[in-house]
Amino acid sequence: MDGYDKHAFEPFAVTVDLAVFTIREGALHVLLVERGQEPYAGRWALPGGFLRPDESAERAARRELGEETGLTDVTGLHLEQLRTYSEPGRDPRMRVVSVAFAALLPDAPEAHGGGDAAQARWTPYDAARELAFDHDRILADARDRIGAKLEYTGLATAFCPPEFTLGELQQVYETVWGTTLDRPNFRRKVLATPGFVEAVPGAARLTGGRGKPAALYRAGTAAALHPPLLRPVPEGRPA
Amino acid sequence: MDGYDKHAFEPFAVTVDLAVFTIREGALHVLLVERGQEPYAGRWALPGGFLRPDESAERAARRELGEETGLTDVTGLHLEQLRTYSEPGRDPRMRVVSVAFAALLPDAPEAHGGGDAAQARWTPYDAARELAFDHDRILADARDRIGAKLEYTGLATAFCPPEFTLGELQQVYETVWGTTLDRPNFRRKVLATPGFVEAVPGAARLTGGRGKPAALYRAGTAAALHPPLLRPVPEGRPA
DNA sequence: CCTTTAATAGTCGCACTGACTATTAAAGGG
DNA sequence: CCCTTTAATAGTCAGTGCGACTATTAAAGG
């Protein structure tokens, strides 16, 4: 009931933090910024910043992304709330509640510092360790969430350009899940799932490859995949 | 990067709101409180309240639940973050950012008002309309989330007492999804999914029923169901 | 033109599932 | 004490999805 009626309310600083993913050279990359100020000056961190009084967390997330990394007017950006981190002590200086977002980008435009960030850089996911604040945790949570949502949503297309080949889409799954998938089976499954992708008639990707050019597809309209595309179980999983 | 370094930060009021569900008499019920204060005095709302400076949102959620509804020491309570609502104007008096939670309870202990709440009451989900603030939206989001999570997690057991029959578990699915399920098939599926439930040896529910008493089960240890228990597609869904 | 590379097509068998039917085990009324 | 009622549990069968393959096709480039 937003019950501020009787008790005095304590003011909090509210920030947004972004875990922005893309796929580069077959590896999952995360956008990081180097902190220019204490605390954690010189450490890498997730981009983010303060919520302004007139904007929602979603708007703040897009704004900060542009300010700190130069990624502006990112049309293909998929942005979704992850969760909110509110443990006392997560910031050494004051009480900060942070709304975390996970974001996906198709291609990887170069990033540069700005705002509070000394510099910004795409970093391989596995190399993004020992970040400032509790950002290691946020980043791991974001990756888990993305991996899980690939199973039952068409989210993977958010990593792809507007038109993409099935091979590129498969690469997304293999990269995020860290597995390999059988190509014919992947193809059959994707095409059999209504609303996942739709063919672009008569188009083929001509990008310098040596073999037969692949047909192009666009993201479909379905939000959820029925049936889902289940992740292969790691060895020895079954109870 | 929690970038409060250069810009002045604006203070916000931070609250938690709870959508607490249970199943009563075969229908999904939600815990609501009647507001004792303006704004929205006399209107029904989700329980919740201010975050204190020394507690996380999760702890605040449990505390407010106890204060406003008398539901304290709820051992079987499942509590999970839904999302954070931060649109400007969602509270007519000040800038409030609210961390919303979805919660599930096995049985339904009676609730009574307290704290900021004039009274508290279990309300059938379908009758919970025109709530204060944006709580209609939060409630709908929570219900969607719960319904979806039933598919691929063992969450349904959170609606059940520590020991339950497969019939009771099936009732949870049918109630939340608004469908009917074939009993033998449901049984087969649940028992074939490793870690979903485990049998309580030699126990049977004797509660006054007329027919053969059902065997009892406990919640299993698996967090995710492999394979998931997919919701039947509504008529005419396939594209 | 011929080799290479990758996309696409097709096959086979098992496991899962939806839609059923049949059986069993107790409770409670007569 | 039996017999009806109620519900749990067991079993059947066909269609389908999917993993693991093999085979074919289409272009690029030397």
> Model confidence over A39-67: pLDDT tens digits?
999 999 999 999 999 999 999 999 998 88
The predicted model gives A67-71 an average pLDDT of 83
- Gap from B209 CA to C29 C1', Å: 15
Residue A237, CA distances (Å) to A234, B75, B195 in order? 6, 30, 11
| Residue among A2, A8, A9, A23 at smallest CA distance from A160 | A23
| Residue among A102, A36, A99, A23 at smallest CA distance from A68 | A36
Give the pLDDT confidence of A128-174 residue by residue, as tens digits: 999 999 999 999 999 999 999 999 999 999 999 999 999 999 999 99
Residue with tokens 């999804």: B177
Taking residue B93's Cβ as centre, other Cβ atoms within 10 Å add up to 10
**Nearest nt to A230, CA vs C1'?**
D18
| Nearest CB neighbour to B11, from listed A11, A84, A86 | A11
- Measured between beta carbons, the chain A residues lying within 8 angstroms of B7 are 49-50, 116
| Residue among B102, B3, B80 at smallest CA distance from A14 | B3
Ramachandran assignment for A66, one of left (phi > 0), alpha (psi -120 to 50 degrees), beta (any other): alpha
| Nearest CB neighbour to B3, from listed A48, A84, A228 | A48
- Measured between beta carbons, the chain B residues lying within 8 angstroms of A47 are 1
The predicted model gives A93-118 an average pLDDT of 85
Whether the pLDDT of residue A1 is over 60: the answer is no
| Residue among B105, B62, B67, B55 at smallest CA distance from B81 | B62
Residue B20 φ then ψ, to 5°: -100, 120
Residue with tokens 């709304």: A99
In DSSP terms, A98 is beta-bridged to A15, A85
Residue B96, CA distances (Å) to A56, B10, B88, B91 in order? 11, 12, 8, 6
**Nearest nt to B187, CA vs C1'?**
D9
| CA dist., res. A190 & res. A196, Å (int) | 7
Helix (H, G, I), strand (E, B) or coil at A227: coil
CB pairs under 8 A between A and B: 198
- Measured between beta carbons, the chain B residues lying within 8 angstroms of A96 are 2, 4
Contact B62, B17 (CB under 8 A): no
| CA dist., res. A62 & res. A49, Å (int) | 11
- pLDDT for the residue numbered A84: 98
Q: Please, which residues have CB within 8 angstroms of residue B153's CB and are 6 or more apart in sequence? A: B223, B224, B225
In chain C, which nucleotides are within 7 Å of a protein Cβ? 4-11, 16-22, 24-28
Taking residue B183's Cβ as centre, other Cβ atoms within 10 Å add up to 11
How far the first Cα of chain A sits from its last, in Å, is: 43
Q: Tell me which residues from 149 to 208 on chain B have a beta carbon below 7 angstroms from nucleic acid strand C.
A: 182, 184-185, 188-189, 192, 206, 208
Q: What percent of chain A has pLDDT over 90?
A: 71
Helix (H, G, I), strand (E, B) or coil at B73: coil
In chain D, which nucleotides are within 7 Å of a protein Cβ? 5-12, 17-23, 25-29
- pLDDT for the residue numbered B10: 83
- pLDDT for the residue numbered B235: 55
Helix (H, G, I), strand (E, B) or coil at A177: helix
- Gap from B185 CA to C18 C1', Å: 8
| Nearest CB neighbour to B1, from listed A54, A99, A132 | A132
CA angle centred on B126, ends B184 and B68, rounded to 5°: 105
* B188: exposed, middle or buried (Cβ count in 10 Å: 0-12, 13-18, 19+): exposed
pLDDT beneath 50, residues of chain B: 1-6, 236-239
| Nearest CB neighbour to B194, from listed A86, A94, A239 | A239
| CA dist., res. B196 & res. A236, Å (int) | 17
Give the pLDDT confidence of A193-233 residue by residue, as tens digits: 999 999 998 767 666 667 788 899 999 999 999 889 999 97
| Residue among B138, B56, B50, B12 at smallest CA distance from A60 | B12
- A69 versus A6: the higher-pLDDT residue is A69
- Gap from B100 CA to D19 C1', Å: 41
- The minimum CA-CA distance between B166 and chain A, rounded to whole Å, is 20
Nucleic strand C under 7 Å from the C-beta of B209: yes
- Measured between beta carbons, the chain A residues lying within 8 angstroms of B37 are 5-6
CA neighbours closer than 13 Å in the CB half-sphere of residue B166: 20
- Which residues fall inside 7 Å of strand D, measured at CB? A 182, 184-185, 189, 192, 206, 208-213, 227, 229-230, 232; B 165-167, 183-185, 187-188, 209-215
- Measured between beta carbons, the chain A residues lying within 8 angstroms of B98 are 2
Q: For the range A210-215, what are the long-range contacts, defined as Cβ-Cβ under 8 Å and sequence gap of 24 or more? A: A214/A165, A214/A166, A214/A167, A215/A165, A215/A166
